[in-house]
Amino acid sequence: MRVLLVCLGNICRSPTAEGILRHKLEQAGLADRVEVDSCGTGGWHVGKAPDRRAIAAAARRGFDLSGLRARQLEADDFRRFDYLLAMDRDNLLALEARCPPDCRAYIGLFLDFAGYENQAVPDPYFGGKEGFEEVLDLVEAGAEGLVAELHQRLGAVS
């Protein structure tokens, strides 16, 4: 199973979600059955590490994002991944616009799996420190919901 987490710049929200989801999959014993990656619909930050505020906020909760590097969404992602999950509606619309007609992947909002239907992980880039804490709270809830979904789909025993 392959999961791609998608935001705008791939330096704040989706790398945070990538690091946290990977960590929670390890805790659930599913790390070797689910591959996780992230990307941005925009290309301004390609090759860069996550925003230092995102790295610092995640580190305070025990998640290491420092080794991640930004990349941009590519056409092949729609074939390679089973789930393409957007952090907000604009990025969901960007995914839907680029999705090829024969695409069989699930495309939706990341937070749908946390029971927060139609809710976004707000973009923290132009705001203050508290925005990064909100991202962490929402992403932790989303990642836990997604682990439960994957657990069920894979039929794994806890």
Question: Is residue 21 near ligand 4NP by the rule CB under 6 A?
Answer: no
Question: Is residue 142 near ligand 4NP by the rule CB under 6 A?
Answer: no
Contacting ligand 4NP (CB under 6 A), which of 3, 4, 5, 8? 8
Compute the residue count for the chain.
Answer: 158
Q: How far apart are CA 142 and CA 44, in angstroms?
A: 26
Q: Which stretch binds ligand 4NP (CB under 6 A): 9-17, 23-31, 60-68, 94-102?
A: 9-17
Q: Is 7 a catalytic residue?
A: yes
Footprint of ligand 4NP on residues 40-99 (CB under 6 A)? Answer: 44
* Catalytic annotation, pick one of 7, 51, 77, 88: 7
* Catalytic annotation, pick one of 51, 77, 112, 123: 123
The pairing of strands 83-86 and 106-109 is parallel
Can you spell out the DSSP letters for 41-58? SS-TTTTPPPPHHHHHHH
Per DSSP (E only), the strands in the chain are 2-7, 35-40, 83-86, 106-109
Question: Is residue 10 near ligand 4NP by the rule CB under 6 A?
Answer: yes
Residues known to be catalytic: 7, 13, 123
